[in-house]
Amino acid sequence: MTAPPVAAASPLDAIDAALAERLLAAALSSGGDYADLYFEHRSGADYVLEDGRIRTVGRGVTLGLGVRVLRGDATGYAYTEELDEERMTEAARTAAQIAASGAAPGPIAVRPVPLADRYRVAEPSLARPGIDKVALLRQADAAARAFDPRIVRVEASLAEEWREVLVVTSDGHLARDQQPMIRFGVSAVAEEGHQRQGGRSGGAGRFGMEFFARPGQSPEEHGREAARLAIGMLHAVEAPAGPMEVVLGAGESGILLHEAVGHGLEADFNRKRTSNYTDQIGQQVASPLCTVIDDGTIDNARGSINVDDEGNAGQRNVLIEAGTLVGYMQDRLSAKHFGARPSGNGRRQSFRHEPLPRMTNTFLAPGTDDPEDIIRSVKRGVFAKRFAGGQVNISNGDFVFALTESYLIEDGKLTAPLKGTNLIGNGPDVLRKVTMLGGDFELSQGTWTCGKDGQSVPVGIGTPTMKIAEITVGGTKTR
């Protein structure tokens, strides 16, 4: 396991097996079926440079314990920000109240669970002085401004985090993990006459300072890319409107898969029968070209985990195979309902939150088509390369997504850049209409965060280039 970023002992070092066993006994004292303890120590910092001036420098630390007790389908949850035994025992007994009666279990013996090390860090970013982070922001700012004199405004930001977790369960598992995260972003504004347009570039992952030595991740590259997008948008034309063929570019287009399909594959929505995929296991739900995977085991990826927040090792889970639905993403509660095993997808924002079935790195596996052949096959359509925000109905997959970079396809060639482009459709329907799938799979290096039930967690997304027979393009120019 990677060494912590500071020499001082972690507050979680004081939590040993004997103490955890006493707390679990208190949590089950009213007869719960199961209990777990989630200890968390998180330290982080953030920096923002705006128009050459430091606007924000912040640093914070959080520490606490969340206690969960399950009794049937009911959940009791309590947390404390004080890790003395009295307060922790009080939280355990509060969570225990979900089980008003019943016999307490016998002694609980916990043992460490061996874990993979998927995000080994060469140099923890928090160990470096803040002046080094500010220098990175200034490098990005300078590169964006040097790209073109029409760049009139630049903002650069860096956020870093070191999170240590300890999960102990009443079925005897004890798992420790140390989770680094770094996130870097640059936004630029270009101005020409009365036109003002913006562009953004960023990257993230479970890295230390070595992140910036990776291909495409230097501050200068992000600065130039943000500037390129802003300048390119100055001469963009209004997007067409109406149903048409759409080619989704590799990498970033995974956000559409994540939002419009992935959430529907989380087991709690299917347990509650609110997903479009309820009772569809074994059914054809997508084009035979499509295999959808959620994989928490990819080294250093933003959504990767050595262990989930219920103490289960991160896993690679095939959800849709050759168009057939073969499984859901399971947490402990839903797995019990379906008679399945937890799939390493029980995740939570912090010790203050209960775990839920959540995605890690969700992507569409590559096909065999040449991406250039995919473009050449389109007479008239839209090439979608970068996505902004969108709205999704998780229960049925209906979506509206805005694009930040897209191009018109005419006679098999990319022509004019487009502005005001939206994609309107249904996620499951889109997967059924995949007619070509590229061999150019790309896992996005972006700064993606997923929200659900008021909780946010980091995730990864990815796709190869793919051709959709028809999506409604919401633009301002009729065909």
Question: What band does 101 get if pLDDT is binned at 50, 70 and 90?
Answer: low
Ranges of beta strands (E only) in 81-215 are 111-112, 151-169, 173-192, 195-205
Q: Give the residue among 326, 341, 329 at the shortest CA–CA distance from 282.
A: 326
The structure's pTM equals: 0.94
Structure tokens at 169: 């369960």
Non-local (6+) Cβ contacts of 112 within 8 A are 174, 175, 176
Q: Distances in Å between the alpha carbon of 186 and those of 5, 58, 113, 248? A: 26, 18, 40, 24
CA distance 476 to 424: 14
Does the pLDDT at position 7 exceed 50?
Answer: no
Rounded alpha-carbon distances, angstroms, from residue 174 to 24, 210, 350, 354 = 12, 30, 18, 18
| CATH 3.40.50.970, applies to 11-233 | no
Helix/strand/coil for 251: coil
For the packed helices 130-147 and 219-233, what is the interaxial angle rounded to 10 degrees?
Answer: 30
Q: What is the DSSP string of 339-357?
A: T----S-EE-SSTTS--EE
Rounded to a whole number of angstroms, the distance between the first and last alpha carbons of the chain is 57
Where residue 103 falls among pLDDT bands split at 50, 70, 90? low
Answer yes or no: are the C-beta atoms of 316 and 297 closer than 8 Å: yes
Residues with Cβ within 8 Å of residue 404, at least 6 apart in sequence: 199, 200, 229, 386, 387, 388
Three-state SS at 296: coil
* The pairing of beta strand 413-419 with beta strand 237-238: parallel
Residue whose token pair is 């009666």: 101
CATH 3.30.2290.10 positions along the chain are: 11-233
Spatial CA neighbour of 27 closest among 71, 67, 84, 83: 67
List, in order, residues 6 or more apart from 387 with CB less than 8 Å away: 252, 253, 255, 256, 401, 402, 403, 404
For the stretch 258-267, pLDDT in tens is 988 999 999 9
Other beta carbons less than 10 A from residue 10's beta carbon: 17
Pairwise CA distance, residues 218 & 232, whole Å = 21
Report how far residue 305's alpha carbon sits from residue 298's, in angstroms, rounded to the nearest whole number: 8
5 confidence band (pLDDT: 50, 70, 90): very low
pLDDT of res. 345: 98
Indicate the length of the chain as a whole number. 479
CA atoms within 13 A on the CB side of 266: 26
Taking only the tens place, the pLDDT of each residue in 118-160 is 999 988 999 999 999 999 999 999 999 999 999 999 999 999 9
The predicted-structure confidence for 16-36, as pLDDT tens digits, reads as follows 999 999 999 999 999 899 999
